[in-house]
Structure 1
Amino acid sequence: MSSGTEKATPGFLVWRLSMKWRVAVDRAVAPLGLTHAQYSLVASLYGMQRGGERPSQRRLADHTGLEALYVSKLARGLESAGLLERTRDPRDPRAVQLALTEQGQEVTRRAIQVVQGLLEQLLAPLGGRDAPRAKEFTRDLATLLDAPLDPFSETVPNEKEQS
């Protein structure tokens, strides 16, 4: 452990790791004209399109964990840059579907390669991406992401629950 993290809480360490990752991805994809948030959007869209899906902005927001209004803002910027197109969903005129343009697919492929290199660097201390420790770490992260968080729930059990 690095100095100063021995007594850190898991929440602090998750926050620090997420910030380290965001900054690294921001720097790595900047030469391609992307930010970390834009990368998250286009990489997710790329994977969904490869699976035959043309998701709505709402579906992409749910998939990425980004707020729907933020996805809309990012999509407008990416559309202006020629990387994606937004069209009305023929089944629901209120919904906007997203698709990468050819240029968007090319930029995204390059960005994915760059970010995969970063991921290899991040997971090297755990033995690399395919190592058992890295796979366990991935499972642990997925478990934590699936755990519900409600800032308004009681965090301390009441007396009846303790008995």
Structure 2
Amino acid sequence: MSAASKGSTPGYLVWRLSNKWRVAVDRALAPLGLTHAQYVLLASLYGMQRSGSNPSQRELADHAGLEALYTSKLARTLEADGLIERTRDPRDSRAVRLALTERGREKVRPALAAVQVLLGRLLAPLGGLDGPRTAEFMRDLTALLEAPLD
């Protein structure tokens, strides 16, 4: 047990791991000109589109686990950079549909690869991406994320 975890609460350890991951992703993506938050939005949109979804801004926010207002701000920045297109939904004037541009797809692919390598390094102590301890860790994290707070 490390000095960082000795006597620590689970909440503190989750917070530390979250910060470690965010900083590592920001560093890995800096050469590509992306922040962690921009990556989350682009990678989520990429995955949703590959699954055949044409998400609204709200659907993407929910999928990515980001606040709707923050997603809107990020989407505007990514649109200004030519990475996504924002269009009004013809069936609901309040909704905005998002799609990656070709430039956005070209930008997100190397970012996905960089984060995958980083994830492999982070999970190495648990046996790597395909290790049984990683699968158990994923189940535990999912259970915690799905637990209601109220």
- Interval of TM-score (by shorter of Structure 1 and Structure 2): over 0.9
Extract unaligned runs of 5+ from structure 1.
151-163
Secondary structure (helix, strand or coil) at the match of 1:97 reads: strand
Residue matched to 1:103: 103
Which residues of 2 match residues 2-151 of structure 1 at below 5 A? 2-150=2-150
Post-superposition shift, 1:138? 0.5
TM-score, normalisation: structure 2: 0.98
Secondary structure (helix, strand or coil) at the match of 2:149 reads: coil
Post-superposition shift, 1:5? 1.3
In the aligned structure 1, how far is the partner of 2:20 from the partner of 2:4?
Answer: 16
Deviations 1:93-112 (A, max 9, x none): 11000000001001111100
Matched AA of 1:19: N
In the aligned structure 2, how far is the partner of 1:13 from the partner of 1:39?
Answer: 24
Extract unaligned runs of 5+ from structure 2.
none
Secondary structure (helix, strand or coil) at the match of 1:85 reads: strand
Q: Which runs of 4+ in 1 moved over 6 A?
A: none
The alignment's C-alpha RMSD in Å is 0.7
Post-superposition shift, 1:66? 0.7
Post-superposition shift, 1:4? 3.1
Post-superposition shift, 1:13? 0.3
In the aligned structure 2, how far is the partner of 1:103 from the partner of 1:4?
Answer: 42
How many residue pairs end up in the alignment?
A: 150
Aligned identity (percent) is: 72
In the aligned structure 2, how far is the partner of 1:16 from the partner of 1:127?
Answer: 21
In the aligned structure 1, how far is the partner of 2:2 from the partner of 2:88?
Answer: 50
Structure exhibiting the larger radius of gyration computed from Cα positions = 1
Secondary structure (helix, strand or coil) at the match of 2:93 reads: strand
Secondary structure (helix, strand or coil) at the match of 1:133 reads: helix
Post-superposition shift, 1:65? 1.2
Secondary structure (helix, strand or coil) at the match of 2:20 reads: helix
Secondary structure (helix, strand or coil) at the match of 1:2 reads: coil
TM-score, normalisation: structure 1: 0.90
